[in-house]
């Protein structure tokens, strides 16, 4: 601290800047959080994991190009478009999206509390809900940046060149739906992370316990899952060939796309509103 710098405190008091508006604060938290999230160990790990389907797609492409007997199921050739659909549904929508939702969504606030950095955010002239929403938006962008390129690469590797043109619009729709899926799961698990002390366990139980079981149960229980509504948005990706027709039949009561969109949007908005309300009221006691 140089002597010349000491008068810092003696400078004429700068008029305190006005507190940023809610959305201005959201944008500032988003700025701060996005860089942290993108370069986090969690994101780097997920990016590596999402390299696996790309490797698989490369293998499929090599097999296809080498003239070796193509993949057949029950004597029927399985085309690249079908393989892409299977990967989209079973790998990305049923596994990757919930995993990202659980691990990032529950950590939005919990990580800041665990790292004890929440203090810096909560002692600024911004509403706590702006912190939550800004971090949530950073999550949506960060996870989309990780997942969507992986899907695009898989698409271009697996789908035959002649089918790319007709399927491209569908691909764009699928990318949008995946981002929407990430947003919905993220909102739900952000709520879990905001109100519960052990959010990760609860998130995992929901995504890989409850959702899996409920989807196999007859009746209305599946309506209390997110995946039930996601399936209605990607019917083309759900396998319908011989070997998986039994499993596909499980989903044959999928609601209309409009109904799915409505309920997913409802879950997203409701979860964020409740989480925003909870974070304003809740105390976060940092460990010593």
Partner 1 sequence: MTVIAVEHLSKWYGQVSGLNDVTVSVPPGITGLLGPNGAGKSTFMKLITGQLKPSKGSVRVLGEPIWGNPAIYRRIGFCPEQDAFYDRMTGLDWVTALVRLSGVSAADAQGVAGRALEAVDLVDAGGKKIGAYSKGMRQRVKLAQAIALDPELLILDEPLNGMDPIMRRRTIELIRTWARAGRSVLVSSHVLHEIEALTANILMINNGRIVAEGNVHQIRELIDEHPHTVLIRAQESRALARALLADEGVVSIKLETGALVIETARPDAFYTRLTEMAARGETGTIDEVTSLDDNLQAVFKYLVKS
Instruction: Please list, in sequence order, all residues whose beta carbon lies within 8 angstroms of the beta carbon of residue 99, skipping any fewer than 6 positions away.
Output: 46, 207
Contact by Cβ (8 Å): 115, 264: no
Sign of CA dihedral 27, 30, 34, 36: positive
Binding residue (CB under 8 A) for partner 1 from 5, 66, 69, 74: 5
| 6 contacts partner 1 (rule: CB under 8 A) | yes
Q: Which two tokens stand for residue 272?
A: 């964020």
Q: Which is nearer to partner 1, 16 or 258 (CB)?
A: 16
197 touches partner 1 by CB under 8 A: no
Nearest to 274 by CA among 197, 203, 210, 194: 194
Distance CA 231, CA 135 (A): 27
- Binders of partner 1 among 36-55, rule CB under 8 A? 36, 39
Distance CA 35, CA 41 (A): 12
120-179: which residues touch partner 1 (CB under 8 A)?
Answer: 120-128
Contact string 263-282 vs partner 1 (x = CB under 8 A): -----------------xx-
Among 23, 31, 259, 270, binds partner 1 (CB under 8 A): 31
The least CB distance from residue 126 to partner 1, in Å, is 6
Closest approach of Cβ 125 to partner 1, in Å?
A: 4
Q: What is the DSSP letter of 116?
A: T
Given 8, 65, 161, 246, the residue binding partner 1 (CB under 8 A) = 8
Cα distance between residue 153 and residue 60, in whole Å? 13
Q: Does 286 bind partner 1 (CB under 8 A)?
A: yes
Please, which residue, 246 or 285, has the CB nearer to partner 1?
A: 285
- Least Cα distance to 190 among 203, 176, 204, 208 occurs for 203
Positions that interact with partner 1 (CB under 8 A): 1-2, 5-11, 13-14, 16-20, 25, 28-29, 31-32, 35-36, 39, 115-117, 119-128, 280-281, 283-286, 288
């Amino acid at each position: 601290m140089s002597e010349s710098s000491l008068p810092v405190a003696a400078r004429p008091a700068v008029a305190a800047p006005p507190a940023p508006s809610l959305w201005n604060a959201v944008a500032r938290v988003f700025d701060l959080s996005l860089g942290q999230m993108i370069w986090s160990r969690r994101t780097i790990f997920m990016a590596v994991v999402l390299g696996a389907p790309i490797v698989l797609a490369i293998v499929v492409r090599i097999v296809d190009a080498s003239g070796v007997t193509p993949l057949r199921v029950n004597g029927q050739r399985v085309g690249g478009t079908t393989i892409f659909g299977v990967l989209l549904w079973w790998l990305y929508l049923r596994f990757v999206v919930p995993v990202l939702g659980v691990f990032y969504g529950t950590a939005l606030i919990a990580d800041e509390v665990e790292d004890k950095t929440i203090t810096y955010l909560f002692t600024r002239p911004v509403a706590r809900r702006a912190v939550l929403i800004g971090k949530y938006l950073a999550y949506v962008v960060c996870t989309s940046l990780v997942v969507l390129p992986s899907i695009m690469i898989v698409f271009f590797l697996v789908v035959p060149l002649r089918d790319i043109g007709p399927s491209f619009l569908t691909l764009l729709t699928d990318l949008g739906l995946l981002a929407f899926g990430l947003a919905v799961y993220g909102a739900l698990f952000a709520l879990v992370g905001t109100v519960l002390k052990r959010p990760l366990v609860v998130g995992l139980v929901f995504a890989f316990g409850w959702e899996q079981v409920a989807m196999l149960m007859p009746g209305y229980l599946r309506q209390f899952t997110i995946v039930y509504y996601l399936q209605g948005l990607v019917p083309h990706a759900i396998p319908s060939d011989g070997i998986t027709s039994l499993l596909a039949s499980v989903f044959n009561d999928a609601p209309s796309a409009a109904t799915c969109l409505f309920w997913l949007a409802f879950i997203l908005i409701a979860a964020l509103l409740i989480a925003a309300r909870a974070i304003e009221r809740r105390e976060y006691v940092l460990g010593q």
